[in-house]
Structure 1
Amino acid sequence: MQLLASEGINLPTEVVERGIDAYMLHMDVGSVRIRTPSEEKRIAGVFRGNGPRGSERALRVGFDRYLLDLAASSGAQVVRSLVTRVGWHEDRPEIEHGGGKRACYDLVALAAGVNSQLLQNGCDAAPGYSFPGTLTTFISEFHLGQAAIQASLGDAMHIFLLDLPRLEFAALIPKGDYVTLCVLGHDVDEKLVDAFLAAPEVKRCFPDSKVPELVCHCFPRLNVRPPAQPYADRLVWIGDCGVARLYKDGIGSAYRMAKAAARTAAFHGVSAQDFEAHYAPTCKAMNWDNTLARLVFMSTTAIQKLRPLRRGVLRMTATEQANREQFHHMSSVLWDVFTGSAPYQDVLVRSCHPGFIASLAWNLVAGNVAALAGKPYGNGS
């Protein structure tokens, strides 16, 4: 929320479903609550679209709709029509939409996302464009009501690092009367989702430890490998169809890349050479950060797979959270891994700090000795 505010974007109450002021990390060895660092870096829970199926949205505004209206209030002309094809007419890109209507533009920014058929079937303007590498995810909604959500989940996002085959990451996010479930992994399917929902660590997050019926669900794809060249003459790809941060803040990535593309177009030009000189460096910087992100997520995978390491991480985090005066090495790293609030390079550098390594080593020993002695940590499990 602070990052948006620094750009002059202040989210109104009708957009924010719930303010998130903490993360709850769940593992088989216990759970620990991680507060926002220095009471900053707060997170807003929002719905990107119109909300879950059957939800009442009369008094609410989706996040994407709010941003679109904000752009329109600044002078953008919004044409509410489905784009079916992007081609060329003479020397300019041509957009076809709404029953065969066509219009030419000096520059076209494609921000269609990787789940759009336009990129695969309707983009004739750049035959050399390579579709991004993708990963299938699972998104669903549960209806609990605000009172039940406050009692069971509170104002925290619940993160799960469980040793389940193919599971990379999972989270429960409270939003108004609903709870959003996000599951990332390899070849995510209903079998993996069922195994996750059957885990006792997950069941405990719901009233009476019973997982309710899904209101709606989908298996969208996520950008995990960018196209070789997300730009061409008079064309630029933004967001998930271009370069995006690995597993994180697609809207934030799109915003940063859009700013870089806009600077290029406004101050230099719209040719492929202009984008190569002034837009590509931002793409390469984000791609490099994503390379480092893979190292970071290798570490989280190790935590999932190694119980002794999970005990050390749990003890180190719980000790930091119990002492506000202590420097929060592990807590700050975990917060930024979960939220994407900091570049992955910064996360990796902090993970290599001597203080981080020394504290983790000590807590690995102490946590596992305590476990052998039968002493609980975290939530006591």
Structure 2
Amino acid sequence: MTQKDSGLGPLADGARVVVIGGGPGGVAAALAVKQGARALGREARVTVIEGKQFAGGQHNNLCTGVLSPPIVELIERDLRVPFPHSLSRGAITGYVLRTPRREIVLDGEAEPSVTLRRIQFDAYMMEAVRQRGIETQSARVNGIEFHADRVVVYTESVPVEAEVVIGAFGLDEGTAVLFQRAVGYRPPPALASIVTKYHPGEAGMAEFGDRIHAFLPPSPRIEFGAITPKGNHLTINIAGESVDTDSMKKFLAAPEVRRALPCFENAGRFDAKDLRFFKGHFPCGLARNFSGDRFVMVGDAAGLVRAFKGKGVTSAALSGIRAANVILREGISARAFGAYRAANRDIIDDLPYGQAMRRLTILAARVGLMDVVLRAAESEPGLRRALFDAASAHSPYRQVVREGLTLRSARAMARALFFDDHSSAITDAR
């Protein structure tokens, strides 16, 4: 029996697709299915199920809200939705990479990233979904059944039957358990993240500037931290396998962090909600069994992201578009979704490089070797470019490795390690 005869071929005219999750990956998949089907002369019925209320800011999204290129192109060209430039809270023009003893300013010529409040972006994209004739359901999924000819998705509202289901639920544990029981899905490995913010005032924001400050502390619990300017406030986040509120308090008290925080005494003065802590998670590797007969995961749920953070929204949207293309052109069977894995080879093949860089960076930070790397980068443009590409997510990690592991870079690091002055080189990067 062929895939078409079994109902597992390319999505048929009038078939229904259920998307669980209304974030970037989910809305990208929904829009790409709806519009892609029409381009092929078919009609697809699409339902997006999302438990959060994005409109009105009733829920927080723990994403720091930095959207990396080519997100504007993906939304406008591939999804045919105008990018919401009016929601922008600024452009990221560069990065400052900091250790306790040294720092380096990293500016590149690539297209800047855009900062915005993620919940507003999600609300905008969900409204774009509705305007294009896609049904939405505000409810949580509480059950899922797979049958030979259909999938049944149970919600707090009404059940929905579909030919295929797209999982765009991020790292939601409840939904992951449902798929684990039904099809053997295993969520990706993840790191914990603590996020907070404060409003330093207009003068403080001007003093901070338009660069993200990234920190590589020697702490065994914190893998990295960052301070991101977002219009009228600074978003601060740390990540690690076991970070908690005490970790964030210690991070905020670190001298190198305090030097980067303008007017920290203003925390709570302009907004009583300043320095409230929120905890979340983000993936750092691939999920297992993220596709099969009548189901496919996208974005964080599949672990299709950079291994060392960054570009999460862009990767989610890209994987959603790729899943839609496979559903429309190849089919909805486990075999057909082999084409989905192949389409994401750029992300999957880069994961080992990113994971290796993550481990090496952590080790170097623990033993103080990141000071040597930053000192060497001051005189070696190739190493400096590699650090920018790693921090900005503008290039894949395999390219970062090629740029950073050169003979010139090795010589620069040897000079920094054995011959250069190792006294503190802290300056005011703002």
TM-score, normalised via structure 1 length: 0.83
* Cross-structure match for 1:377: 425
Q: Please show how residues 93-112 of structure 1 align to structure 2 within 5 Å.
A: 93-99=151-157, 101-112=158-169
CA contact (8 A) 2:92 2:115 kept: yes
Q: How far apart are residue 210 of structure 1 and its match?
A: 4.5
Task: Tell me what 1:310 maps to.
Answer: 370
User: For residue 150 of structure 1, what is the amino acid of its counterpart?
Assistant: A
Contact 2:293 2:333 (C-alpha < 8 Å) held by counterparts:
yes
Which is further off, 16-25 or 200-209? 200-209
- Superposition map of 1:200-279 within 5 A: 200-208=255-263, 210=265, 212=267, 214-245=274-305, 246=307, 247-276=309-338, 278-279=339-340
**What's the secondary structure of 1:316's corresponding residue?**
helix
- The alignment partner of 1:173 has SS state of strand
1:124 & 1:160 partners in 2: Cα distance?
36
Structure 1 residues 96 and 25, CA, compared in 2 at 3 Å: closer, same or farther?
Answer: same
Tell me the CA shift for residue 364 of structure 1.
3.1
Change (3 A) 1:25 1:69: same
Higher relative contact order (CA 8 A, sep 6+): 2
Within a 5 Å distance, the mapping from 1:129-144 to structure 2 comes to 129-144=185-200
Partner of 1:295: 356
Report the CA distance shift for 1:208/1:69 in structure 2 as closer, same or farther (over 3 A). closer
Match of 1:52 in 2: none
Match of 1:45 among 101, 115, 120: 115
Q: Which runs of 5+ in 1 are unaligned?
A: 50-61, 321-327
Query: Residues 385 and 403 of structure 2 are in contact (CA less than 8 Å); yes or no, is this contact kept in structure 1?
Result: no
Determine the C-alpha separation between the residues in 2 that align with 1:71 and 1:295: 38
What SS does structure 2 have at the residue aligned with 1:171? strand
> How far has the Cα of 1:75 moved from its partner?
4.4
Paired residue secondary structure (1:84): strand
Structure 1, residues 174-205: CA drift from partner, whole Å, max 9, x if none? 11222111111121112222221110011112
Higher deviation after alignment, 241-250 or 261-270: 241-250
Q: Is the contact between residue 161 and residue 303 of structure 1 (CA under 8 Å) also seen in structure 2?
A: no
Note if contact 2:361-2:370 (Cα within 8 Å) is conserved in structure 1: no
Q: State the Cα distance separating 1:70 from its structure 2 match.
A: 3.5
**Structure 2 Cα separation of the partners of residues 2 and 18 of structure 1:** 14
Q: Which runs of 5+ in 2 are unaligned?
A: 1-67, 77-81, 269-273
- Please state how far the C-alpha of 1:158 moved relative to its aligned partner: 0.8
SS at match of 2:213: strand
Matches within 5 A, 1:163-182: 163-182=218-237
Which range is displaced more, 165-174 or 351-360? 351-360
| Partner of residue 28, structure 1 | 100
Which amino acid in 2 is paired with 1:167? I
**1:45 Cα offset (Å):** 1.3
Contact 1:312–1:365 (8 Å) recurs in 2? no
How many pairs does the alignment contain?
350
CA offset digits 1:255-310 (Å, max 9, x no partner): 2222221221111111111112x112245553331111121122322331233x33
CA 1:311–1:81 in structure 2 vs 1: closer, same or farther (change >3 Å)?
closer
CA distance in 2, matches of 1:125, 1:262: 25
Of the structure 1 ranges 137-146 and 279-288, higher mean CA displacement relative to structure 2 is found in 279-288
Partner residue of 1:352? 405
Q: RMSD in angstroms over aligned alpha carbons?
A: 2.5
Q: In 1, distance between residues paired with 2:260 and 2:244?
A: 22
- Counterpart contact for 1:134–1:224, Cα < 8 Å: yes
SS in structure 2 at match of 1:289: helix
TM-score, normalised relative to structure 2: 0.74
Look up the match of 2:387: 334
**1:128-171 residue CA offsets vs partner (Å, 9 max, x unmatched):** 112322222111222323432222x2111111111112211100
Q: CA, structure 1 residues 380+342, in 2 after alignment: closer, same or farther (shift >3 Å)?
A: closer
The CA distance in 2 between the partners of 1:336 and 1:226, in whole Å, is 22
Kept in 1: contact 2:188–2:285 (CA 8 A): yes
Indicate the larger mover: 199-208 or 69-78. 69-78
